[in-house]
Chain A
Amino acid sequence: KQEVTQIPAALSVPEGENLVLNCSFTDSAIYNLQWFRQDPGKGLTSLLLIQSSQREQTSGRLNASLDKSSGRSTLYIAASQPGDSATYLCAVNNNAGNMLTFGGGTRLMVKP
């Protein structure tokens, strides 16, 4: 059974700092890995999707990497802003798209 772990569970940083969120998974036979953002009381917004054949994806100040063999992914946020404050969720898809297995999330607070 796939298990996804995210570290740290919570993170508080001053504005402008670069930061890294970590995600690990136990079963490396994945189709893809997605990073989501969730604001309080809201649904999930897809940030980046990395296919199993890819090593990284970039969108603006976000960069996600994937090391399938070691079962790890990182989400790098450059020059953090207070508007980045949210919970970030990592999810893996390893059964032909039927469902995602989520990590517990990292709650990020960026202080002005």
Chain B
Amino acid sequence: GAGVSQSPSNKVTEKGKDVELRCDPISGHTALYWYRQSLGQGLEFLIYFQGNSAPDKSGLPSDRFSAERTGGSVSTLTIQRTQQEDSAVYLCASSRRQGGAKNIQYFGAGTRLSVL
């Protein structure tokens, strides 16, 4: 597609439920990133995928958070047993290659998660 696509755009769930957030990166981009934007915490890195390599999970806040990327394209971020502090906007980004000085990350519009 033309840009990074995320779904749903909004998600309201009850505390304790599991949620899945989807990201469809720009075609041909090998790197995919998940970030979280919450009040008081700003934008924080969660997890990073590069091709078929093992993901960098260093930003995941707890073991309730996991993500996978199927076929090197679409990614799903799963939050189990959601808590109210998980309420945030979850942003996905993709880039053409792994890194280097010219690496530009392109962001989706995000999924706004509200945990009641």
Contacts and interface: CB of A to CB of B under 8 A. Distances in A.
Contacts of B107: 36, 43-46
A100 B99 contact: no
Contact of B42 (A42, A43, A44, A102): A102
A53 interface: yes
Interface in A66-112: 89, 91, 93, 95-105
Q: How many interface residues does chain A have, given as a range?
A: 20 to 34
Interface string B99-110: 111111111111
A12 B108 CA distance: 27
A97 B45 contact: no
A31 B101 contact: yes
A45 B110 CA distance: 12
Contact of A97 (B4, B31, B109): B31
A51 interface: yes
Contacts, number: 71
B14 interface: no
Interface string A16-42: 000000000000000110101000011
B52 interface: no
A49 B45 contact: no
Contacts of B44: 102
Interface string B73-116: 00000000000000000010101011111111111111010000
Contacts of B112: 41
Contact of A98 (B56, B101, B106, B110): B56
20 contacts: A31-B100, A32-B101, A41-B112, A43-B4, A46-B104, A49-B102, A49-B104, A53-B101, A89-B43, A91-B43, A95-B99, A96-B99, A97-B31, A97-B97, A98-B56, A98-B98, A99-B48, A99-B56, A99-B59, A103-B42
Interface of A: 31-32, 34, 36, 41-46, 49, 51-53, 89, 91, 93, 95-105
* Closest 8 pairs between A and B when the two form their complex, measured CB to CB: A97-B99, A99-B45, A102-B43, A51-B101, A44-B107, A43-B107, A96-B99, A43-B109
